Structure 1
Amino acid sequence: MTDMIVVNYDPRWPERFEDLRQRLAPHVADLAVSIEHVGSTAVPGCAAKPIIDLDIVVSEEAVMPELISRLAGRGYRHEGDLGIGGREAFQGPPAVPGHHLYAVVAGSKPHLDHVLLRDYLRQRPDEVQRYSALKVALAQRFPADSEGRAAYSAAKSAQVEELVAKSYAARAAGAL
């Protein structure tokens, strides 16, 4: 059994994000409000699976079909919302470094969940340390297959939900 890979923060992750952003931007710039680096690789000091998460943020749901079409033309495979309404997921082309690409509407719950959690963690090294420790422990417990990845995600969901709730509370208090 091969363990899931969770590694210490790599300071090259922002550069990898920027490379991916530059590959995507020319094809979606007129549709996108922004392309955001989200997920654990966007948080300095956070342990993570070494896969960059990106959100293409659009202004309204109406542009989503065109975005999906353009990404398909660049070799991306649309995977639907993967159980999270308001977020569209894509599998990248084989020739592009591994990443998770999502499309979200600006200000939607999936968009805010991603950016508020990222920004909250960026300001709280103690929470980053706690979250990293959980991820490292879980990665050693579960195999790197689809069942193992699902179990890993489920096992960390309570802490993720807690952190997301704290990020919304910090935003409401004006701390984000």
Structure 2
Amino acid sequence: MKVRLEEYDPEWKSLFEIEKIKLFKVINSKEIKIEHIGSTSIPDIYSKPVIDIMVGVKEEKQLDKYITKIISLGYTYMHKYEIYMPFRRYFFKLKDPEVQLPKIIGFNDEDIDKGNHEDKFHIHLVKINSDFWINQLLFRDYLRNNPKIKKEYENIKKSLAKKEWDSLNDYAMAKSEFITRVLEKAKK
């Protein structure tokens, strides 16, 4: 599979803000925080056109409390991903709302073939101030404030997008060395 990158679109910020309002309404808790993360949150950088949203809760034990509420907004919950990241609940929503997928993809479910359908949103539900939370915000903010590093990241992504990948996870892993290096700088 090829990874499709698009030039930065200012509408991504608006799409995030609209989805953020929906999430606040359905979750109905003043204790959560919602952040726009990933490349679509970084102005003027090529990105996969998928809005990554990080929803933070105060305690890890609260994560499961919000699963059905997020699903009610048309998301599919990838329960099976908790094998790799038990501290995170991951959801996706397709661009085409007419495509019917299971609401929950469990540990024993086969990989779901979405066909030619693309994701529109990803949600990462995690504990506020967890390593995941902190690292996502550090990386985003460091790139926003360092044009040279942002350009370097964009060039890596463009180069990787030319390759054929077995999965998006393989593409993500190929960027991990750069991301780790940037996080080390950002933490200093």
Please classify the TM superposition score into its range, dividing by the shorter chain length: 0.7 to 0.9
1:142 aligns with 2:164: yes
1:59 paired residue number: 58
2:45 paired residue number: 46
Contact 1:76 1:90 in 2 (8 A): yes
Contact 2:92 2:122 in 1 (8 A): yes
1:92 paired residue number: 93
CA distance in 2, matches of 1:126, 1:84: 31
Listed as ranges, the gaps of 5+ residues in structure 2 are 99-118
CA distance in 1, matches of 2:142, 2:20: 22
2:124 paired residue number: 102
CA distance in 1, matches of 2:185, 2:86: 21
Number of residue pairs matched by the alignment: 165
CA distance in 2, matches of 1:31, 1:87: 20
Aligned partner letter, 2:182: L
User: Under a length normalisation based on structure 2, what TM-score does the superposition of the two structures give?
Assistant: 0.79
Contact 2:92 2:120 in 1 (8 A): no
Tell me the alpha carbon deviations over residues 90-143 of structure 1, each in whole angstroms, 9 at most, x when there is no partner: 122652971111101110001011111111111101100000000011001125
Answer 1 or 2: which has greater helix percent.
1
Listed as ranges, the gaps of 5+ residues in structure 1 are 170-176
| Percent identity of paired positions between Structure 1 and Structure 2 | 27
2:33 paired residue number: 34
Distance change (3 Å), C-alpha of 1:75 and 1:154: same
User: Under a length normalisation based on structure 1, what TM-score does the superposition of the two structures give?
Assistant: 0.84
1:132 paired residue number: 154
Aligned-partner SS, 2:123: strand
CA distance in 2, matches of 1:72, 1:44: 29
Distance change (3 Å), C-alpha of 1:40 and 1:108: same
Aligned partner letter, 2:70: L
1:155 paired residue number: 174
Aligned-partner SS, 2:89: strand
Distance change (3 Å), C-alpha of 1:88 and 1:67: same
Following superposition, which runs of at least 4 residues in structure 1 exceed 3 angstroms of deviation? none
CA distance in 2, matches of 1:65, 1:32: 15
